[in-house]
């Protein structure tokens, strides 16, 4: 911090102290009531700052989730507000929402989603390795009894369980290659078999 910044900081501190003392002197008769009102405004200000800072998280949590539509042999998924495509899938009969990840090779289940699908991650052998945006993680291969997307059910599907921190399960290219046609148009992903 250079001398100019130090002097500005001293000036603002002195000015702020003078304003606080003036405020206290003016309101000494009803200081209790005034402090209550000041604290109410401070909490309102902090609440507004928190809502503005967390707006994206609030909107994606509270807002309606994009819905998949099925037309004949094609499945249409709208792009989410965060720019990704999320596909509702039944894994071993349990509903799990996958992030469609064209950068991922395989189907990768998070620890939580694996448990929902009836797989105990503690009983698996984590001998695989995957390079992720967060670094290298260990993975364990599994076989999913059924994987259902809309009217399409695949059986005995290979997948991996990620031992690292994974917030959403990933639907990678190995599964997407099962579709004869994949299109991205008008904010929608269209999968056809």
Q: What span, in angstroms and rounded, lies between the C-alpha atoms of 15 and 152?
A: 70
Q: What b/e sequence results for 86-125 when a residue is b if at least 16 CB atoms lie within 10 Å of its CB, and e otherwise? A: bbbbebbeeebebbbbeebebbbbbbebbeebebebeebe
Percent of the chain with pLDDT over 70: 94
Query: CB burial class (10 A; 0-12, 13-18, 19+) of residue 6?
Result: exposed
pLDDT given at position 108: 92
Count of C-beta atoms within a 10 Å radius of residue 169: 26
pTM (2 d.p.): 0.63
Sorting pLDDT into bands at 50, 70 and 90, what band is 80? Answer: confident
7 has a pLDDT exceeding 70: yes
pLDDT in tens, 100-110: 988 888 999 99
Structure tokens given for 63: 């807002």
What is the average per-residue pLDDT within 59-63? 62
pLDDT given at position 1: 72
Q: What span, in angstroms and rounded, lies between the C-alpha atoms of 188 and 75?
A: 10
Q: What span, in angstroms and rounded, lies between the C-alpha atoms of 160 and 78?
A: 26
């Amino acid at each position: 911090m250079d001398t100019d910044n130090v002097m500005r900081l001293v000036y603002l501190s002195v000015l702020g102290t003078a304003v606080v003392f003036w405020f206290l002197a003016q309101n000494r008769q009803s200081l209790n009531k005034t402090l209550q009102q000041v604290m109410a405004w401070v909490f309102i200000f902090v609440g507004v700052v928190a809502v503005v800072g967390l707006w994206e998280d609030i909107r994606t949590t509270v807002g309606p989730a994009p819905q998949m539509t099925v037309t004949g042999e094609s499945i249409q998924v709208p792009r989410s507000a965060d720019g990704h495509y999320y596909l509702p899938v039944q894994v071993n009969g349990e509903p799990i929402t996958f992030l469609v990840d064209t950068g991922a090779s395989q189907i990768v289940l998070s620890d939580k989603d694996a448990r929902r699908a009836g797989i105990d991650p503690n009983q698996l052998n984590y001998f695989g390795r995957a390079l992720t945006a967060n670094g290298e993680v260990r993975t364990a291969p599994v076989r999913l009894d059924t994987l259902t997307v809309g009217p399409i059910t695949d059986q005995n599907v290979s997948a991996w369980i990620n031992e690292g921190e994974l917030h959403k399960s990933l639907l990678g290219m190995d599964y997407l290659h099962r579709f004869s046609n994949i299109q991205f148009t008008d904010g929608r992903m269209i999968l056809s078999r």
